[in-house]
Structure 1
Amino acid sequence: MSVNSLFDIGSTSLRAVGEKIDATSQNIANAESEGYRRRRVSLSSRSVAATGLYASNGAQDVTSSGVGVEQFERVRDGMLVGARNEARSSESAAREEGRVLGVLEGALATDTDASLSASLQGLADGFSNLANNPESQGVRESVLGRARQLTDTFGRLDQRLGELTSSTTKALASNVEKANGLLDKVASLNEQIESARAGGSPDYAAEDQRDQTVKELSKLLPVEAQENRSDGYTLTVDGMTVVQGDDATTLSTENKNDPSKPTRVEFGDTGVAFDPGEEGGGEIGAQARLLNDTLTGKQSVQDRLDTLADSVVEKVNTAHRKGADQNGDTGENFFVDKSRTAGNIELNVDGPKDIAAVATPALGTPEGNETAVTIGQGDFGDSSGAGNIEDRLTVGPDGSASTVEVSSISPDGNLPGGVEGGTFDITVEDNANTGELDFTINRPDGSTSAQTGVDVSSDGTRITLEDDGSGNTLKLDVGTAFADGDVGPTETKEFSVTVDNSLPGNTGPAQNIADVASDLTTGATDLAAGVGTQVQEAAAKEEAQAAVGERVQAQIEDVSGVSVDQQLSSLIEQQQQFAASAQVLTTAREVSSTLLSIAR
């Protein structure tokens, strides 16, 4: 080997080891830089031809082995990076779904008195109580209060869903805009990187930045990257190319302000929509899925809430129309019958008397309340004249044919004010005047009064059975029920009239409404439980994908990351190699000097 070879080998070794030291130093300096990929220098031997002066054998050419830089590269595993980005995309989708669904779950929570299920059960309890106390104004007021709470709850949930839908729509538009910015950035970096490569000086920092940009993009979309040496990264989403070379496809959000149509994320001017599938898809996929499947659309929470509201209105109104209120009105709706959605339920009843709690009153019939007025016919038991007195003295269905009247007796037979009612024993006697009868009333409290010379020849002649002194009276229409001939001269007959508050009787309408509301409570509970299940599923998916991402990231760090300890160890070794190479040059110089001295 010639002295020239020693100089050549030593100098190439110094340069090669210097390159390794530079790379190692750069790795150590960027150990904490996000997205940085470890640089690696590969060395290989090279031939060094040594001839002529100072050759060791002086007779032939000698080929010696030197060293040179074979490759300077970023250490990167594309498959691991792709797996990490896919896991990141799925994790972000699950996290976004869990966040939105968590807010929805809180609004539908069943463990509060203001929940939908509690409000429906409250209405059921109110009508059940009303079925047992149909005349209680306090109970009726309570029913109205519970009904208002239910309409308020439906309205609040509808408003909360609207707000959540609006905020999710805005978040989707913001993420689409952010994704477009990242796509443009990747396209720009492609151009920068390929230009640097063409100039013979690869821009590894730009390549790190491009990988980091794709990583950020994977949080928003399920992006896949393929590297092409001619034009850099080609990015695809759902099979559609979104970046190729320095060209990026802009995403757009369609129908975002039209709730009647599904919200679509489209690829440029292609008219092709991004389909996020049933899971995954990054934040954009999750938001599109939430808007089209969970918050709005068929079988969505909004749709199921509106369907439940429609069922409440329809079924309660159907039962309510079959009853009568305290005004005697029948066939009235409890809720306003209009477009039935959760956001526009209104009460149709104005006050407690408007609540139909009992079946259409028909006193004296099995279907109605128990008879408020009963007649003991006494001596009028024959079949002629006043023999039909029971039918003629019993309160009719609407009060108009009644011969027993109170100042404001209700159609359902209940007494107002201070009128106590009871059983009145009445004695009837004839007198000398044509068309007149004498009546003696023995009251329940033991008092007696007589009303003589009563004209029974004309309809509407009344005798007073009870007067509470404040305008509330109980009267008997004897002009409708009796004639002078019913009692003979010097004859005395007796009969009795019992007037009491009627018993509840058939309160089927109130109980039916209670049953309907109680049954619908299950629907409200199922709605909340369904959202709760989705929240749990989203949390489980997020945890699983996070675990996958962490595992893959650890593998990436093993392959591409910087271990400071390992790099410091390599640096010490490279310093020793550098020192050894320098020693070769020193030796070559000493040999050269010795040879020159001999030559002199």
Structure 2
Amino acid sequence: MSSTFHGLEVARRALNTQQSALHTTGNNIANASTPGYSRQRVNMTQTSALSIGGMNQSITAGQIGTGVQAGSIQRIRESFLDDQFRNETTKLGYWDAKRTSLSQMEDVLNEPSSNGLSAVMGEFWQSLQDLSANPENTGARGVVLERGQSVADTFHYLSDSLTKIQQDIGKEISLGVQGVNSLLEQISQLNSQIKSVEPRGYLPNDLYDKRDALVDELSLMMDVKVTKTPAGGNSSSQAEGIYTISMLGGDGKEYALVNGDRFNKLGFAGPDEKLSVNTPTPITSIQFFNSSGSPLTTSVPIANESGKVTFSQGKLLGMIESYGYSYTNSGGNEVNKGMYPDMLNDLDKLAFTFASVFNEVHEKGYDLNGESGKPVFILNGSTSQGAAKAIRLADLDTQDIAVSMTVTQNGTVHAGNGQNALNLANIPSMLLSNGVISLQGTADTIDLSSYGLGQNGSLNSFYEGMIGRLGVNAMQANRMTQNSLLLSQSVDEKRMSVSAVSLDEEMTNMMQFQHAYNAAARNITMVDEMLDRIINGMGLVGR
């Protein structure tokens, strides 16, 4: 038979278990607004039954329940939704970085507007049209020089502004890599703490939450894969184990970042300061270092020989594609790519072709002194590299502008002839087919094959193509950012519906556990009355 005090023990266990459940509910309510907190619950299990000898069961003894006990305190988390959220966060980080970079580029170029390069050059061409009607007018000649200076200043402003933003992106990449290294170190430290707790049979839920929050933050920077490894020992079946974190490359390869309490750092193949100097250096690869800073043999090239990006997606890649990267193609040549390097290169081509063509057309005419035209714009070098930054207006007087195509026999300018001014004004719409331009009023042609514009069309169409590509890329980045944001928010809402604290649900649980606790207390009172009757009310016969 069971003990006389069996009922007291069952009620006592019920009191302790319901009290633990109330304490856990209170902890959930207290952390309802804590970022990264996952709600917890007490896993209640019945205690081992007590065998009771049965008078009519000679073979098998009966059993009687002995109550309930508070088992593990488990956090409620769905790892599948965590993986989905991190995948969408990686995409969001990538597209948001590109969107931000392209938005800054659009602000600098400021097209279409009355203050952009297109408007400034339009005013310059218009001043030449006006000069063609009054070729000897000193005021009109002065306007041409002033607006030519404005064109050069605008090229300087655009080149300097884009380079400055590129430098800032380089600094942001350096800070991003430092942040990634800090996250990897913190995750490895949490792995070490969890590894020392789990083998004892405990569930370090707060450490789990901190670690998952760090992994979520890491997934914004790069695409990562999380693998769980058991900690060993007397670990609980609900234990989540140790995280092994790898970076996924665009080529499908995995690169180890965190393995237990060990981690690898990320860095660049060259010094970090290269990213923010006056002439930013394209990134070739990401180098791995051990926790003490010694370089490892493993490195990740940004792109393979065909130009396909092999680095993992995420905010870090979005910034690298904006800042600029390089790779060696199958022919052994180094190729530079990137949104800002490409735009600066196109701007240099435009400035170089504009200045070179203008000078050649200008040299075909005659100034007021009857001399052939001199170069109007000065460039450093014979290639387009750095032309937008280097272009400047030559030191000319108003009489040096060569707008006439004919001179008299005594060498003076033919009065009223402004044919070359029209040729100069028509430069933006001249077709550069096969690199050759035909001039009006003369049989002369100009070969543009060495100027590096690299396409048929005109100066106007080339610049329009630059702005058009920028607009399309910016629209795509905005659209993809919004799509990624909506998807990540949708997954996060599903994740929060599982792991976040609902105050309504917790209040309901509190009432449930409170009633159970009161019932257990009432059970103790009832058992106490029974024992009082047995002890004090029995054994009085014969007195």
TM-score by length of 2: 0.78
Give the secondary structure class of the aligned counterpart of 1:225: strand
Identify which of 528, 531, 547 aligns with 2:486. 547
CA positional deviation for 1:210 = 0.9
The equivalent residue for 2:314 is 282
Identify which of 267, 270, 282 aligns with 1:252. 267
Does 1:303 find its partner at 2:349?
no
CA positional deviation for 1:111 = 4.1
Give the secondary structure class of the aligned counterpart of 1:317: helix
Deviates more, 1:185-194 or 1:322-331: 322-331
Q: Name the CA distance, whole Å, in 1 between partners of 2:372 and 2:379.
A: 16
Does 1:329 find its partner at 2:371?
yes
Does 1:317 find its partner at 2:317?
no
CA positional deviation for 1:199 = 2.9
Q: Name the CA distance, whole Å, in 1 between partners of 2:400 and 2:489.
A: 65
Structure 2: runs of 5+ lacking an equivalent: 232-240, 249-253, 290-295, 325-336, 430-457
Identify which of 409, 424, 447 aligns with 1:513. 424
The equivalent residue for 1:570 is 509
Does 1:210 find its partner at 2:211?
yes
Contact 1:267 1:273 in 2 (8 A): no
Q: Name the CA distance, whole Å, in 1 between partners of 2:206 and 2:227.
A: 19
Give the secondary structure class of the aligned counterpart of 2:426: helix
Contact 2:243 2:258 in 1 (8 A): yes
Contact 1:90 1:280 in 2 (8 A): no
CA positional deviation for 1:176 = 0.9
The equivalent residue for 1:383 is none
CA positional deviation for 1:6 = 2.6
Does 1:271 find its partner at 2:299?
yes
Q: Name the CA distance, whole Å, in 1 between partners of 2:510 and 2:379.
A: 83
Identify which of 523, 528, 531 aligns with 2:470. 531
Contact 1:50 1:61 in 2 (8 A): yes
- CA separation of 1:124 and 1:278: change in aligned 2, threshold 3 A: farther
- CA separation of 1:314 and 1:278: change in aligned 2, threshold 3 A: farther
Matching residue's letter, 1:576: H
The equivalent residue for 1:42 is 43
- CA separation of 1:594 and 1:126: change in aligned 2, threshold 3 A: same
Q: Name the CA distance, whole Å, in 2 between partners of 1:313 and 1:35.
A: 58
Q: Name the CA distance, whole Å, in 2 between partners of 1:172 and 1:13.
A: 57
Give the secondary structure class of the aligned counterpart of 1:233: strand
Instruction: Report Cα offsets for 1:147-182 as digits up to 9, x if no partner.
Output: 110000000101101110111111111111111111
The equivalent residue for 2:155 is 154
Contact 1:5 1:48 in 2 (8 A): no
Contact 1:155 1:343 in 2 (8 A): yes
Identify which of 370, 392, 400 aligns with 1:346. 392
Give the secondary structure class of the aligned counterpart of 1:237: strand
CA positional deviation for 1:232 = 1.1
CA positional deviation for 1:337 = 4.5
Q: Name the CA distance, whole Å, in 1 between partners of 2:395 and 2:419.
A: 19
Deviates more, 1:57-66 or 1:210-219: 57-66
Q: Name the CA distance, whole Å, in 1 between partners of 2:503 and 2:152.
A: 65
Q: Name the CA distance, whole Å, in 2 between partners of 1:119 and 1:279.
A: 40
Contact 1:77 1:559 in 2 (8 A): yes
CA positional deviation for 1:548 = 1.2
Instruction: Report Cα offsets for 1:390-420 as digits up to 9, x if no partner.
Output: xxxxxx2xx1xxxxxxxxxx6124xxxxxxx
Contact 1:326 1:354 in 2 (8 A): yes
Q: Name the CA distance, whole Å, in 1 between partners of 2:428 and 2:398.
A: 19
Contact 1:330 1:360 in 2 (8 A): no
The equivalent residue for 2:521 is 582
- CA separation of 1:274 and 1:218: change in aligned 2, threshold 3 A: farther
CA positional deviation for 1:50 = 4.8
The equivalent residue for 1:234 is 244
Instruction: Report Cα offsets for 1:23-48 as digits up to 9, x if no partner.
Output: 21211111111111011222233432
Matching residue's letter, 2:320: A
Q: Decide which structure has the larger Cα Rg and report it.
A: 1
Q: Name the CA distance, whole Å, in 2 between partners of 1:360 and 1:164.
A: 48
Q: Name the CA distance, whole Å, in 2 between partners of 1:294 and 1:142.
A: 38
Give the secondary structure class of the aligned counterpart of 1:267: strand
Does 1:357 find its partner at 2:357?
no
Matches within 5 A, 1:68-467: 68-230=69-231, 232-238=242-248, 239-255=254-270, 257=274, 259-262=280-283, 264-268=285-289, 269=296, 270-273=298-301, 277=309, 281-292=313-324, 293-297=337-341, 300-330=342-372, 332-339=374-381, 340=384, 341-348=387-394, 350-361=396-407, 363=408, 396=409, 399=410, 411-413=412-414
Q: Name the CA distance, whole Å, in 2 between partners of 1:288 and 1:62.
A: 72
Q: Name the CA distance, whole Å, in 2 between partners of 1:573 and 1:57.
A: 40
Q: Name the CA distance, whole Å, in 2 between partners of 1:586 and 1:44.
A: 24
Q: Name the CA distance, whole Å, in 2 between partners of 1:278 and 1:133.
A: 60
Matching residue's letter, 1:74: R
Matching residue's letter, 2:81: L
- CA separation of 1:330 and 1:172: change in aligned 2, threshold 3 A: same
Give the secondary structure class of the aligned counterpart of 1:227: strand
Q: Name the CA distance, whole Å, in 1 between partners of 2:146 and 2:419.
A: 21
Contact 2:44 2:71 in 1 (8 A): yes
Matching residue's letter, 1:272: V
CA positional deviation for 1:274 = 5.5
Deviates more, 1:189-198 or 1:86-95: 86-95
The equivalent residue for 2:292 is none
Contact 1:130 1:136 in 2 (8 A): yes
Matching residue's letter, 1:303: N
Q: Name the CA distance, whole Å, in 1 between partners of 2:366 and 2:528.
A: 122
Contact 1:90 1:279 in 2 (8 A): no
Give the secondary structure class of the aligned counterpart of 2:68: strand
- CA separation of 1:280 and 1:343: change in aligned 2, threshold 3 A: same
Q: Name the CA distance, whole Å, in 2 between partners of 1:215 and 1:47.
A: 41
Give the secondary structure class of the aligned counterpart of 2:136: coil
Does 1:561 find its partner at 2:500?
yes
Instruction: Report Cα offsets for 1:190-217 as digits up to 9, x if no partner.
Output: 1111211123333211111111111222
Q: Name the CA distance, whole Å, in 2 between partners of 1:259 and 1:169.
A: 8
What is the number of equivalent residue pairs in this alignment?
Answer: 461
Give the secondary structure class of the aligned counterpart of 1:323: coil
Matching residue's letter, 2:262: D
Contact 2:89 2:484 in 1 (8 A): yes
TM-score by length of 1: 0.71
The equivalent residue for 2:63 is 63
CA positional deviation for 1:94 = 2.5
Matching residue's letter, 1:574: F
Give the secondary structure class of the aligned counterpart of 1:249: strand
CA positional deviation for 1:321 = 1.9
Contact 1:91 1:280 in 2 (8 A): no
Matching residue's letter, 2:476: E
Contact 1:20 1:41 in 2 (8 A): yes
